């Protein structure tokens, strides 16, 4: 995808938006990361149709498996406000180089992308200022085939030891 501030082909929207503003929201919320175990801070922000931005930071507690990535917290922040029409996700961390979302977050995003029949732009910026602009479809080649029903997905998780 071309580095552009117009999300058109994939979203159907011609609304202009400010990529720097989206990244700034992620940088600001990174300061709130609650990371007593890793001390590794990540901030994320999601842009929804119409231009509204929802942010999230990574959160941990002393039981490691209960931690949640910044990207999923940002998505959940939007969901809490009734929004699931994601156009773009921005991610910043304490790393010098850009950090892309983990596989779990990509899988999570894919479910909403499919509901909306669109790709999601992904922007990652490192402390160096280096910026990667890519998309969910480009990063996540796996997942369930597009025509898989919700029922089939649920049934695939019913494991049996028989």
- Residues of the shown chain interacting with Zn ion in the complex, contacts defined by CB under 5 A: 69, 102, 105
Ranked by CB distance to Zn ion, the top (closest) residue is 69
Catalytic residue among 71, 111, 152, 155: 71
Whose Cβ is closer to Zn ion: residue 19's or residue 105's?
105
Complex with Zn ion: residue 17 or 33, whichever CB lies closer: 33
In the bound state with Zn ion, the residue whose beta carbon lies nearer, of 17 and 57, is: 57
Catalytic annotation present for 71 = yes
Torsion of CA 79, 155, 63, 96, to 10 degrees: -60
d(CA 89, CA 134): 10
Minimum distance from residue 68 beta carbon to Zn ion (Å): 8
Partners of 2 in beta bridges: none
The least distance separating Zn ion from the CB of residue 9, rounded to whole angstroms, comes to 26
**Token digits for 109?**
């995003």
* C-beta separation of 134 from 1 below 8 A: yes
Judged by DSSP in three states, 136 sits in helix
Strand-pair category, 131-135 with 121-125: antiparallel
CB of 105 to Zn ion, least distance (A): 3
Instruction: List the catalytic residues.
Output: 71
């Amino acid at each position: 995808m071309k580095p552009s501030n117009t999300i058109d082909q994939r979203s159907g929207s011609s609304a202009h938006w400010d990529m720097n503003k989206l990244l700034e929201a992620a940088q600001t919320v990174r300061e709130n990361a609650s990371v007593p175990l890793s001390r590794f801070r990540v901030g994320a922000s999601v842009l929804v149709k119409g231009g509204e931005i929802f942010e999230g930071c990574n959160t941990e507690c002393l039981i490691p498996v209960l931690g949640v990535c910044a990207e999923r917290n940002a998505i959940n922040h939007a969901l809490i406000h009734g929004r699931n029409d994601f156009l773009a996700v921005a991610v910043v961390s304490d790393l010098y180089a850009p950090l892309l979302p983990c596989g779990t977050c990509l899988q999570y995003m894919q479910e909403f992308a499919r509901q909306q029949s669109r790709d999601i732009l992904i922007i990652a910026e490192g402390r160096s200022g280096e910026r990667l602009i890519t998309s969910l479809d480009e990063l996540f080649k796996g997942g369930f085939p597009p025509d898989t029903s919700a029922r089939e997905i649920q049934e695939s998780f019913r494991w049996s030891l028989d």
